[in-house]
Amino acid sequence: MERKNKLRTAKIAGIVVFNLICVFSVIYVFTMSIDKKQAIGADAGLKVINDFEAPNKDAKNAGVNTSVTEPVQGKETAKPVGGAVQPAAAPSSEGRRTRDEGRAPAAPASVTEAPGPGMFLVDDFTGDEIQNKLGSRANVYVRAPSRVMVSRRDDNVNGVMKKVLMIKYDKKNSGGPNGMGGWCGYYTLVKNEKTGEYFDGTGYKYITLWIKGQKGDENLMIGCADEHWDKIGDSLKAEEIGVHLKDKKITTKWEKAKIPLSTFFLDHANLSAISINFEPDCFPEGAGAGTIFISDIAFEK
């Protein structure tokens, strides 16, 4: 009988100890949970980006852009599309990247909206450096060993301080995969990249722009592309720029160039791009280097 009482007492004591352990365990876990929240989330000035405990931590980090990209002029780039290099969304084999990755694009302007009587302003070089007034891409195209770079400058254009485009070019005449020195230039798309709509230029007679050189006697050709040239990745070129300038050449003073759209045997109802091209025919030996400045590319009636 005494032995049975001892066993019963030991059993009761074991149950009591087990229950006490369970109670203290629950209290400990609850206390640690509160301490952790106070440490990483209770402070109003502290924002938890990711505590690495959520079942789907990518969802908790949604909207945090960690990519760092920039435009890269590699050894070679894709052949221009209507004077334009393919966007980063479909990178070429030469490895171009764009610095606008991860940024919401500006809403393209209406292709029928003109800023003034008789003129549609394509780009005045204010705002985003990789977009024109239509919200479409504007950038260099290049294939090694030729080189080109662009930047913005403040300049006095006929008494008005404005943002202008500086283009520094170095067109080679040998080397590269085709043995002709590659190519280089600049393009601005008039095609609406968001909708795929081409620009209707049937109501305009000229492509116009203001131009000057750093030293004078620089040379280039203006190009234009329609849907056909857009698809094959090139543009149709006009004569050397001097044909369309009063002094018959680029000088160190601002001068307006007016290139008749009739120069380009294109479908003017479906235009895709305007380009500035440093072609071999622009230079006596097929090679040339220099710096030019451009202001206000537009279509005019």
Domain ranges of the chain: 2-60, 119-300
Question: Residue 157: beta bridge partners?
Answer: 160
Q: Determine the pLDDT at residue 3.
A: 58
DSSP strand E in 7-128: where? Answer: 119-123
The enclosing H or E element of 227 equals: helix 227-232
Cα distances (angstroms) measured from residue 220 to each of 26, 73, 78, 232, 248: 80, 21, 21, 22, 12
Residue in the block written with tokens 């001097």? 242
To 5 degrees, how large is the angle CA 6–CA 12–CA 13? 90
> 268: which 2 tokens?
């003017």
Q: Determine the pLDDT at residue 177.
A: 86
Q: Which residues of the chain have pLDDT under 70?
A: 1-11, 13-14, 16-116
DSSP strand E in 66-159: where? Answer: 119-123, 138-143, 147-157
Count other Cβ atoms within 10 Å, centred on residue 185. 24
**Cα-based torsion angle of the residue sequence 243, 248, 252, 255 in order, rounded to the nearest 10 degrees:** -60
Question: Do 80 and 140 meet the contact criterion of CB atoms below 8 Å apart?
Answer: no
Rg of the chain (C-alpha set): 32
> 45: which 2 tokens?
């000035």
Q: Determine the pLDDT at residue 117.
A: 75
Q: Assign domain 119-300 to a CATH class.
A: mainly beta
To 5 degrees, how large is the angle CA 278–CA 282–CA 287? 75
Which residues, at least 6 apart from 293, have a Cβ–Cβ distance to it below 8 Å? Answer: 153, 155, 164, 165, 166, 167, 211, 212, 213, 214, 254
